[in-house]
Structure 1
């Protein structure tokens, strides 16, 4: 959305919003960011365009000029005096207060700031507080407008790189395409973090080239890890690493180019996400990882448990920060594992979990950034009904016990993963004898057979795997009632089978014997 800037041309985003607030005579604005230097630069540019004098204040250096010629600088060494000087100042002046959020706990400062904010409504003066969090005292919320400075986009990060290239002695050997990829790799970092990552590569190797794209990605992984609630997963899995699930794979392949500009030009919206519901061990987590590899997108796992902190408002702030970071990294895949645990909410924590739950659901419904959400769940009965409501996910897939054909494929996948040729084993016999086993259980029988062969200093065989199958009690037996309830939920038409299309499913009798052969 673009806004006109006092005849100075169209301005969008943060600067446009801030200019609108100042022209509308908002008296108290809190700018939320960790990038103080970048925020000061943006505020100064807004004031220069609007021909407004701008002064900044901090506890160490007092007042300084950010833009314009405001005349004699006021003198103030403490927060109360600062507010008094703001009231006494003449003219159309914007005051930027650094670290002022540290004063929120002082009742006298809060009262004085509230009085001043109310009086400034009849002037053309404004106060801008730069804060790392959205937390504003209850007493000041009615007087305050909160504005977030988003993390830099690809163009702004390219500007950081441009600043480095103008430094004498700095060598940058990047094609236009390589430069674009480098900027994409740095998305999700602050301008300072990206600048340090670029500088580190230059100092280490004497130049910056396309070899360093992966190094920047590694730096970004560390930044995302520090967010506490997001984990950057490496994506190596491909559809060949996932046995069966042909319908789900076809659905994903149809959307493989959905995040390209070509798709936007065609008029296609970016897909919102999918829910994977089903029996434990059937490959839901593996599928989430496979999507990142298939679409060549970053995979971020949202750890909802890590969102909760001990301080009031900390969980909500962490949630918003994590979701903003995901949007900055976009296009990406956001994986919410075990949704029934992650999105459970109750009344035993003063409503914190309910607010976090609501924030995540609202974001899933209304997000415009290309973040593809993959939610996995084992116990659908524990999921609040609003989670699976239409609009949050494009499709809900059910992952059932694998069929004989899928079991054969799963055996082949895991044998190849362990550098064995499936042709050296009786795959058809293994598939027949493993009825009722899920993929994770099949993988474990191969591992168990390998231990036997290794202990006896020989290659493991089909018979070793069959012996391991006979010893194992699968979930289809130990959790027969739970699996039966899940299948009943599927039969009610609440989800699409990940393995069979609707026509085949209608012809197929949806009852697979739960008692595995050999038991």
Structure 2
């Protein structure tokens, strides 16, 4: 609270008569303003107006003991404030207006009255404070108003609320010591005071005590709040490097920075890494890598949906960006995954410049942020991104995810077999990797799934032959979108990014489709095509496949 209170005190001493305090936490804001009022002048009053309760005194204890006017009209309320201030020009009262962002948005008369009142209060001891959930201020008022944002509560503030709740709740049993309470307060970062108290109380009521199970309650509350923000979403961090086939150069880069956000790294003199850009062919594991980073570094993973940032109302998109950034910094240290960042410019110049402003806000924040938020940005269409997007300072490194090599295809197939409780040793993974040249990871995964559906329909376990047929039936993106893929790979050859995999020279650059030549060892048990154990059966050509089988 001290930071915002000090800033407001400074503006009051500078005789700023109109302050817009941006927050959704009205009660917390009133408490801060009452502290400011009491420290500045204990005899002053804190007068609050809203459309339902009209004028009330929020000073504790009430100061001044003046009769307050009764009016529910916003224009009349401004007139009454003018009269009160004129009667006692030396009083240093604070007048707080709630819900006024609704009135000044649609009524030019209110904007004019508010501007005139702010100019007149400069010559008195009183000041005007508008509590609003958005920082959008009408153009007419920007010269007379200053905007102060109330940040979400810090861990010590949430810890104080937790301690107060425990002390005030009769009969509550708590098994949390000092470290446990601190951990619970830390888990509540990103919530407002009211939301955190609700989560703490829910844990007490549900479990009959406050213990380590309260962490799950708090995290569920936080996920719901972040989801309601519209553009941010918590993602589970279940993936590990073992769940991602290939990409050894990228994995090595990440492993070297596994302790980057620790106190030891700071003591050593290392700055927290800024972020990583993952550019490449669709289906090569960019999104999976973003999820893997959260699991590897054991940090919360937030996904920013750039498309969800845009709203239809004036200023709504910019407000969503501000809120998303504020939430990410409050939860920090964390990983912020910006999926398909090129979508931020998808509207071009057809949206009145909103997309450029949103994109510019994100880029500026990425350049200047000091909070330990590691940004992972993924993109498929590098041509849609301005050159300044990928420059150093915003990202520590830019990696390109190319078509997987044969060795990487073996790893990817093995990963997806293990995920489905199959032993890769029971399959000819080497052969499958050979015939799947040009396939991306997503296509390999889908081929495994298709083969298992085929075997499941015949009430037997899946075999290498099923996987072979599934691969031969698939037309990979490297053939159907050959020109697009070649354009992306040419971008890498120009030296604009680091390859995510080592030994790129071993990669088949021919662009040939898979399965042009097959060399099947038909005598190996379990590795041949379907029903090879029956006499007279041969390898059947899959429907729609026009290649030759040798």
Instruction: Report if aligned partners of 1:74, 1:85 keep a CA contact under 8 Å in 2.
Output: no
Deviates more, 1:164-173 or 1:59-68: 59-68
TM-score by structure 1 length? 0.93
Q: Displacement of 1:364 after TM fit? A: 1.2
**2:447 match:** 445
Distance in 1 of aligned mates of 2:299 and 2:84? 49
Structure 1 equivalent of residue 513 of structure 2:
516
Q: d(CA) in 2 for partners of 1:114 and 1:63?
A: 23
> Unaligned regions of 5+ residues in structure 1, if any?
1-10
The answer as to whether partners of 1:233 and 1:299 remain within 8 angstroms in 2 is: yes
Residues of 2 paired with 1:343 and 1:177: CA distance? 45
Task: Give the distance between the partners of 1:414 and 1:283, measured in 2 at CA.
Answer: 13
Distance in 2 (CA, whole Å) between partners of 1:381 and 1:510 is: 24
Structure 1 CA distance, aligned partners of 2:506 and 2:14? 66
Please give the secondary structure, in 2, of the residue aligned with 1:14. Answer: helix
Q: In the TM superposition, what is the alpha-carbon distance from 1:61 to its structure 2 partner?
A: 4.3
Deviation at 1:51, TM superposition (A): 2.5
* TM-superposition CA deviations, 1:462-514 (whole Å, max 9, x none): 111111111111111111111111111101110001112xxx55xx3676221
Q: What is the CA deviation profile of residues 206-244 of structure 1, one whole-angstrom value per residue up to 9, with x for unaligned ones?
A: 111112212210111101111011111111111110001
SS in structure 1 opposite 2:494? helix
> Alpha-carbon deviations, 1:403-458, whole Å to 9, x = none?
11111111110000000011111111111121111111111111111011111111
CA contact (8 A) 1:76 1:82 kept: no
Could you say if the C-alpha distance between residues 463 and 197 of structure 1 is closer, same or farther in structure 2, counting changes exceeding 3 Å? same
Distance in 1 (CA, whole Å) between partners of 2:507 and 2:419 is: 31
Contact (CA 8 Å) 1:454, 1:460: kept in 2 or not?
yes
- Looking at structure 1, the residues matched to 176 and 165 of structure 2 have their Cα atoms a distance apart, in angstroms, of 13
1:83 shift after superposition = 3.1
Q: Which residue of 2 aligns with 1:70?
A: 64
Q: Does 1:46 align with 2:36?
A: yes
Query: Does the 8 A contact of 2:437 with 2:508 survive in 1?
Result: no
Aligned to 1:5: none
Matched, 1:459 2:449: no
What pairs with 1:26-425 in structure 2 (closer than 5 Å)?
26-51=16-41, 53-58=44-49, 59=51, 60-66=53-59, 69-77=63-71, 78=73, 79-88=77-86, 89-90=88-89, 91-104=91-104, 105-167=106-168, 168-425=170-427
**Which moved further from structure 2: 67-76 or 258-267?**
67-76
Q: Against the structure 1 CA distance between its residues 86 and 417, is the aligned structure 2 distance closer, same or farther, given a 3 Å change threshold? A: farther
Which SS does the other structure have where 1:66 is aligned?
A: coil
Partner of 1:3: none
When the two structures are superposed, what TM-score results if normalisation uses the length of structure 2?
Answer: 0.88
User: Alpha-carbon deviations, 1:66-110, whole Å to 9, x = none?
Assistant: 257335243241423333235323322222222222321332322
Can you list the C-alpha shifts for 1:179-203, whole angstroms capped at 9, x where unaligned? 2221122111111011011101111
**Structure 2 spans left out of the alignment, 5+ residues:** 517-550
Deviations 1:108-136 (A, max 9, x none): 32212211211222333211111111121
CA distance in structure 2 between the aligned counterparts of 1:315 and 1:148, rounded to whole angstroms: 18
> Separation in 2 of the partners of 1:80 and 1:46?
22
Query: Do structure 1's residue 14 and structure 2's residue 16 form an aligned pair?
Result: no
CA contact (8 A) 1:332 1:370 kept: yes
Deviation sequence 1:13-55 (CA, Å, 0-9, x none): 2122111111111110000101000111111112222235231
Contact conserved, 2:321 with 2:358, CA < 8 A, in 1? yes
Tell me if structure 2 keeps the 8 A contact 1:339–1:375. yes
C-alpha distance 373-305 of structure 1, shift in aligned 2 (>3 A): same
Task: Name the residue aligned to 2:533.
Answer: none
Range 192-201 or range 71-80, more displaced: 71-80
Largest Rg, 1 or 2 = 2
RMSD of Structure 2 on Structure 1 (CA)? 1.7
Q: Counterparts of 1:46 and 1:301 in 2: how far apart (Å)?
A: 38
In structure 1, how many angstroms separate the alpha carbons of the residues matched to 2:125 and 2:78? 21
Q: How many residues align?
A: 504
